[in-house]
Chains A and B, each alone.
Chain A
Amino acid sequence: MELTLAIAIGVLSASGVYLLLRPRTFQVIIGLSLVSYAVNLFILSMGRLRMDAAPILSGADADITNYADPVPQALVLTAIVIGFAMTALFLVVLLAARGLSGSDHVDGKGD
């Protein structure tokens, strides 16, 4: 189980990093998204993996040992939303750069 997730994180970050190093802006955007999946899963895994743990408290006197770790979850939740905003911003920067330079190369020149 841990191994599966570790490999998943590895594959996601490897494909993401490869794309970050590519010359086309669209590749970089896809790369960023893949890297953010990897990072979000990585943060979640910091709380250790727990299947079937209750995420919702049963009341005031709940036994807190049987719950999923909420801290990484709270961190990741906002990270997902911010990640979306970041993708949007980069996409628009990409489009504007392409309009200005006529090229979709990350350096804005050549083809």
Chain B
Amino acid sequence: MAAPGEKIRGAAWVTAVVAAILSLLSLALFPSIANGEVLISRIEWVPQLGLNLTLRLDGLAWLFAVLITCIGFLVVLYARYYMSPKDPIARFHALLLAFMGAMLGLVMSGNIIQLAIFWELTSLVSFLLIGYWYHRGDARDGARMALIITGTGGLALFVSMLVIGHIVGSYELDDVLASGSKIVESPLYPVALILFLLGAFTKSAQFPFQFWLPNAMTAPTPVSAYLHSATMVKAGVFILTRFWPVMHDHQLWFWIVTYTGLATLIFGAYTALFQRDLKGLLAYSTISHLGLITTLLGMGTPLAAVAAIFHIANHATFKASLFMAVGIIDHETGTRDVRKLSGLRKYLPFTATLAIIASAAMAGVPLLNGFLSKEMFFTETAEFDPNVFVNLSLPIGATLAGMLSVAYSIKFVHGVFFGPPPTELEKVPHEPPALMRRPIEILVLICLAVGIIPGITIAPYLAAAVHSVLGADTPYYSLSVWHGFNLPLIMSIIAMVGGAVIYVPYYRKLRDIDGVPLTRGLMGQRVFERILVTATNRWARHLVGAFGTQRLQPQIFVVIFLALAAGIAAGWARMGNLPLPQSFDPVLGLVWLLGGISALAAAQQAKFHRLASMILMGGAGLATCLTFAWFSAPDLALTQLLAEIATTVLILLGLRWLPKRSPVPESTPMAARLRRYRDVALAGLVGLGTALASYAIMTRSAPEGISDFFLANAYKEGGGTNVVNVMLVDFRGFDTMGEITVLGVVALTVFGLLRRFRPASDSAERPEQQRVLDDYAPGSSENVADDFLRIPALIMNWLFPVVVVVAIYMLMRGHDLPGGGFIAGIIMSLAFILQYLAGGTRWVEERLRILPLLWIGWGLLLALLTGIGAMVLGAPFLTSAFAYADIPLIGKVPMATALIFDLGVFALVVGATVLMLIALAHQSIRRPKVAGSNKPKQRAGTDKWN
């Protein structure tokens, strides 16, 4: 066991190495996609339905892949120092890797169904990561809210993908992107668009769905930096960009996307200004920047799309570094509350410098990357539009949002790093380990490099991404820092000055204000919570009250009644004219006269005379068994007979723990009697229905089934003449594999339940019969078999080897004659049970070591290995090979690998049957603890069974 510290390092190392390899791989792929080539790798799954695993890497996907892997790598490095050794660190790293995989799958999906699936996967992992500290209520609430919002959006997106696939006639992304104006011209376009936008807007936290993102800030800060600013929330704008070429050319798109984006942009920036929690401020800032990107994509011009893609990359770099800086502040001071923080510049000089540069990028200060894309945004909003409203609202809204974002950036920098030294902190902050700052340094360096020399840093990568979206429509755009003194620059200046004007006079108020003025009533969150409470609590309670019951009988009644109704509805019309019976077999008639009477009598006796009822049930079972033999199914007859014996022993063992029940002479109440009549009526109808259905089917000729295939190929392909057995161990071997697994699971469950078995107090005493014997001669109840069954017991003892030989014989010949693993297995277990009956539990276990758990384990393993053996030889799982071997004295013996599989079945059936029976039998010889009493258990002798 490694020390906790080592484990952290181990988990972090694994993740870091994976992330580093992935980053290098993505970076290395750039030359291949630089000239517009699209890399595709396809694994076919159900090509007939258009369902394939297609990975497709073009410029846009590449840009995202690099952001995901590189920022992922930096976040892992950062988290190495951020996370506390007390946190379950392996889970954190595992989820981080899972997220990276899901997100890469999303951006590289070449199939739109696959895209929707990866989309949901990112929501799921995000849920787990937000709820990482699940002992905290706010983390659980935030996680649930994020999952419900983004998951619902994902569902809408999935449907829209189906609609788009329907319009285009293909689910391959290549076909969709090549479909030209087909989608926009389709009458289904509005449906597809609304659903599509629901998906994109919920994921990218667009108004009015933005409220989940601030609540997701309960996640550890590395997660916030990675998922909730740099990558996952970008999935929404990613998909807008991805489908932009085929969907943007429509008025609906323009109005909805542009103005949702603009509303989000302004709302986010405005709300950010009033946040006390630094992460809350960054969260609203993220919302605002996502709104900016959405606005750009809504405008529909190629240049706006270029700006959007550029801003996606820029925002990811500066926002991730800011989140990491806030994480350091939180780590060093113990708080993220802006009211408690101030003057940290003196304590954290390096972190302060880095955070100030990143905030400047966020505010759009020149010579930083944020400035470039923001200028492009301003340029686009200032473009002339014939519509007066558009012409005014876009530039004014953009400038207003610019002012607000400058103001909140100043608030962040000034409030935290400047001013008097903090007084309310619990500890004196100091710089974190240099390595914790390294990721921030790298990101800030990128901000500077892109901002100062864009032409030689970002240009080729941006060009590839832009080209993959716009193709031949790629416009000319300039990345230079200085465009001359023009309208966008004026807007920028107004924003800068305006931001300062907003902040400076009011900074004390902004710092202490509680809540957001004006929009306080606009609480999407409150609406969401009310809906949630109503739907999952109040409505659910009403529904349960109206339709639910704790009682089993009404539930079973409804189930059977519905099944009957469905059967009648389906079968009534197809019943047709039933032919009169053609033949009657008096012997079979007699068998079933007895069998039917047994069944009815068993039903009647089950309440008060359990033993009689069980014997009568056996009578019906025997009739069933004879019927199997009658209609040419010897394997079934054998199995039925053996299972019947095992069931009987089992129930006999259980009877002892049931309460004594004798017929009450007093009359049954009217309600109970009515209920009984009702049940008799329902049971009668079900019986009539099944009888009619089976008669109708049996009197028609059989349809062309698959049986002929098995009959024709059993010998040729499977090497056996017992077709039923060949099917079980060869053709349908995988089914059998599943079935024996179920059998093993059931046996273990029985065993597990019985280990903690507590009998009811009135059954805990030893049975009356044993007490009578002991009163007569003390200890005689221990040797019942010897006293009462001496001769049968002797015969049973001697029969043991005979029965074992019969079992082996049945196993060996199963492939060609009736027999096989199931039958042989039950015979073998009966051999053991006979010994228990003859000698008593203690006697047997002193002489014979039976290890049913091992039988189960080896049986399953053997069956599995046989299957894998076939795979190793290049054939599908569980393919059988066969030959006939000539063994001296015995003669020609079929040797098929299926026999080894059947041996596994045999071992498992032996183990499972013996385990169930013996575990139950052992309850009678232990001195059980009575339910409810706390007396220590007195172990009686031998008991590994309890």
Which residues in A have some Cβ–Cβ distance to B below 8 Å?
1-24, 26-27, 29-31, 33-34, 37-38, 40-42, 44-60, 62, 64, 67-71, 73-74, 76-78, 80-89, 91-96, 98-104, 106-107
Contacts and interface: CB of A to CB of B under 8 A. Distances in A.
A53 B606 contact: no
Contacts of A26: 606, 610, 613, 658
A93 B756 CA distance: 12
B657 A95 contact: yes
A80 B624 CA distance: 11
B822 A81 contact: yes
28 contacts: A5-B592, A5-B694, A6-B694, A8-B592, A8-B595, A11-B599, A12-B599, A13-B690, A16-B603, A18-B683, A20-B556, A21-B682, A22-B679, A48-B698, A55-B635, A56-B818, A62-B711, A64-B711, A64-B712, A70-B711, A73-B635, A77-B635, A80-B639, A81-B643, A96-B758, A98-B763, A100-B931, A102-B931
Contacts of B688: 10, 14
A52 B750 contact: no
A80 B636 contact: yes
A56 B721 contact: yes
Contact of B697 (A38, A46, A57, A81): A46
Given A8-B595, A81-B639, A107 B551 contact: yes
A70 B793 CA distance: 40
Contacts of A19: 602-603, 606
Interface size range on B against A? 35 or more
Contacts of A69: 702, 705, 707
B621 interface: yes
Interface in B695-737: 695, 697-699, 701-702, 705-708, 710-712, 714-716, 721-724, 727-728, 732, 735-736
Contacts of A37: 599, 620-621, 624
A85 B742 contact: yes
Which of the listed residues A49, A82, A99, A101 has the most CB atoms from chain B within 10 Å of its own CB?
A: A99
Contacts of B682: 17, 21
A6 B918 CA distance: 38
Given A5-B592, A92-B750, 16 more contacts: A2-B698, A6-B694, A12-B595, A30-B606, A51-B630, A55-B634, A56-B721, A60-B716, A62-B715, A70-B710, A73-B636, A77-B822, A80-B639, A88-B650, A92-B749, A98-B657
A104 B754 CA distance: 17
Contacts of B610: 26
Nearest to B749: A89
Contact of A78 (B698, B736, B912): B736
B698 A29 contact: no
Q: Which applies to chain B's interface (DSSP): helix, strand, loop or mixed? A: helix
B814 to A, nearest CB: 11
Contacts of A2: 581-582, 695, 698-699
A100 B707 CA distance: 49
Contact of A7 (B583, B691, B714, B753): B691
Which of the listed residues A15, A45, A46 has the most CB atoms from chain B within 10 Å of its own CB?
A: A15
Contact of B727 (A8, A11, A74, A92): A74
Nearest to B659: A104
Given A71-B727, A74-B727, A50 B631 contact: yes
A85 B608 CA distance: 25
Which of the listed residues A12, A86, A91 has the most CB atoms from chain B within 10 Å of its own CB?
A: A12
A17 B716 contact: no
**Which 3 A-B pairs rank lowest in CB-CB distance, beginning with the nearest?**
A14-B687, A10-B691, A6-B695
A58 B596 CA distance: 36
A87 B651 CA distance: 9
Nearest to A91: B654
Nearest to B716: A60
B588 interface: yes
A98 B760 contact: yes
Contacts of A30: 602-603, 606, 613-614, 617
A95 B654 contact: yes
A83 B654 CA distance: 17
B724 A81 contact: no
Contacts of A12: 595-596, 599, 620, 624, 687
A64 B707 CA distance: 10
B647 A55 contact: no
A15 B602 contact: yes
Given A4-B588, A68-B633, A42 B627 contact: no
A83 B831 CA distance: 21
Contacts of A84: 643, 646-647, 650, 913
B724 A77 contact: yes
B632 interface: yes
Nearest to A29: B651
A21 B635 contact: no
B757 interface: yes
B680 interface: yes
A78 B592 contact: no
A83 B743 CA distance: 10
A47 B724 CA distance: 13
Contacts of A60: 715-716
A80 to B, nearest CB: 5
B32 interface: no
Given A55-B722, A69-B705, A77-B636, A11 B596 contact: yes
Contacts of B702: 47-48, 69
B647 A81 contact: no
B254 to A, nearest CB: 60
B739 interface: yes
A101 B760 CA distance: 8
Contact of B633 (A42, A73, A91): A73
Contact of B632 (A6, A31, A51): A51
A33 B690 CA distance: 16
Contacts of B650: 84, 87-88, 91
